[in-house]
């Protein structure tokens, strides 16, 4: 048992006569490890991109809500009255009257 452990630690399985099989397995496992690491990096990059896009969506939604709030305030009658008061325009005291025109044939 002790002899087997020393032979593995010294690397004799890589230089022995039938080491070609061992090298194929080691190269295959190394290739799989490289593919796995590359896949992990790619997934991490996608996760960061998704998080960045999520933050961007939140910013755009906030800007939309702010713009909508400002538009609603501009459309309010009181704010319109304040804006046109500088030009001398006032609200009519009398409600509008519908004018009916009858044709005389």
Regions of the chain short of the pLDDT cut 70: none
pTM of this prediction? 0.56
Please report whether residue 34 resides in a domain: yes
Q: How far apart are CA 26 and CA 8, in angstroms?
A: 14
Which pLDDT score, from 0 to 100, does residue 89 have?
Answer: 87
Specify the pLDDT at position 86.
86
Structural domains in the chain (count): 1
pLDDT attached to residue 18: 74
Whether 95 is covered by a domain: the verdict is no
In this prediction, residue 66 carries a pLDDT of 97
User: Per the domain annotation, does 99 fall within a domain?
Assistant: no
In the chain, the N- to C-terminal Cα span, in Å, equals 124
Residue 47 domain flag: yes
Which structural domain, as residue segments, surrounds residue 25?
A: 2-84
> How far is residue 101's CA from residue 10's CA, in Å, rounded to a whole number?
112
In a domain? residue 97: no
Judge whether 104 lies within some domain: no
Q: What's the pLDDT at 83?
A: 86
99, 83, 100: which is closest to 91 by C-alpha? Answer: 83
Does residue 15 sit within a domain?
yes
Question: In this predicted structure, what is the pLDDT of residue 95?
Answer: 87
Q: What are phi and psi of 87, to 5 degrees?
A: -90, 0
């Amino acid at each position: 048992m002790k002899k087997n452990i020393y032979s593995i630690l010294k690397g004799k399985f890589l230089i022995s006569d039938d080491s070609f099989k061992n090298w194929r397995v080691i190269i295959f496992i190394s290739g799989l490890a490289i593919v796995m690491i590359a896949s992990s990096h790619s997934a991490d990059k996608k996760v960061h991109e998704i998080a960045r896009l999520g933050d961007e969506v939140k910013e755009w939604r906030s800007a939309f809500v702010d713009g909508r709030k400002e538009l609603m305030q501009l459309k309010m009658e009181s704010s319109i009255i304040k804006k046109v008061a500088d030009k001398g325009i006032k609200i009519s005291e009398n409600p509008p009257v519908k004018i009916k025109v009858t044709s005389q044939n």
